[in-house]
A and B are shown apart, each in its own frame.
Chain A
């Protein structure tokens, strides 16, 4: 069994480990680092439940070997919230608009949506649907998820507006 050293950053923390070549990134995150927020669904790249940000880009953690993430900066769903108690604007929007039922797809949806919002502050409904096109949800019918992402985008745009009077000059 070939074992490999791995050093990466996960949610801002430097992590080092020794992994078997065949260990996928999602199994490493869940089983070694105990970050079980990232879910494993299909294990072959279809469902999107295991999505994480790899150097800022959303990818399937089940289609990446952990050893391939050596040197990478990874953000999982645990890294989205500002602190252990709070929710991010996006997570709060999901909560407010009932954008989850069983919750299995939610971590992947949040990662895909966060990647969209990081790149596009004013996404159209088409942009939103395209961004979560690789994530399956069997409960909601997607409507509330799309609405929640749109709400988060709106709130985040508002948060970035300059204060009245402070932008003169």
Chain B
């Protein structure tokens, strides 16, 4: 199908963008890479009166390493992030997740911020960001604020962004621990399809091989990505033996209540999510041990 008719503008700065968002209120929608929005327009699930194209706002593009964090501007292409040395070395979990985001052709256009702001329940970037406790920088004519990613996802395609706000940056904390490992596993019908379930894990071991910290998030299993607090608690202080990981998997299975869809039953999704979590934990453990 073809989109309904709309107006189109290309604000030259974040300030100009915020002004237009404030004036247009809920009739406007930001377009970045368009890889989520244009299908919604084509299927007429979205019918904005005005599209505000942020692709040429230079201040919204780029990746920088700060003291203890990596900052990724909202309109940075997924392909650029995946190829970026700072992401590969300091935000390795995101790099692993990005390989599962669509495929080359969509990553060439799709943006980091677009994936976060559209909040597809199966999206990998938000899943990794949740495990990393990302902080989202948001702007509007009313000022700036930071939203913790735990508070950002409100439901499928629903977020804490107000209609006049735009996402400008995602900050990923870099863990200072010596032995950090990451794991990302996903199940989909074909590689690059939407995830039936996915798991993202980052953990740190102390010098004796004991797990000091761990973050586990599960995607595709609910309307938003979820942190697995019980499973995390079970693993901190352990040496991440197979028995510990199996227990954590069982806790993941108990913590989620996925919906069935034409591709997978709810039971299948639960079991797959638990297995993927176990694999991601083991992968992260082995990586941390080798670090």
Contacts and interface: CB of A to CB of B under 8 A. Distances in A.
A45 interface: yes
B5 A1 contact: yes
**Chain A at the B interface: mostly helix, strand, loop or mixed?**
mixed
A62 B102 contact: no
Interface in B28-44: 31, 34-35, 38-39, 41-43
Interface of A: 1-2, 4, 20-22, 24, 27, 43-45, 48, 51, 54, 57-60, 62-65, 67-68, 112, 115, 130-131, 133-134
B interface, how many residues as a size bin? 20 to 34
Contacts of A62: 38, 42
A22 B2 contact: yes
B29 to A, nearest CB: 12
B38 A59 contact: no
A68 B6 contact: no
A130 B104 contact: yes
A93 to B, nearest CB: 20
B59 interface: no
B32 to A, nearest CB: 10
A64 B8 CA distance: 13
Contact of A21 (B6, B103, B104, B109): B6
Contacts of B7: 2, 21
B35 A134 contact: no
B8 A65 contact: yes
Given A45-B106, A112-B105, 13 more contacts: A1-B5, A21-B5, A22-B6, A24-B38, A48-B105, A58-B104, A59-B109, A60-B109, A62-B38, A63-B39, A64-B34, A115-B104, A133-B103
Most chain A beta-carbon neighbours within 10 Å: one of B5, B39, B103, B104: B104
Contacts of B38: 24, 44-45, 62-65
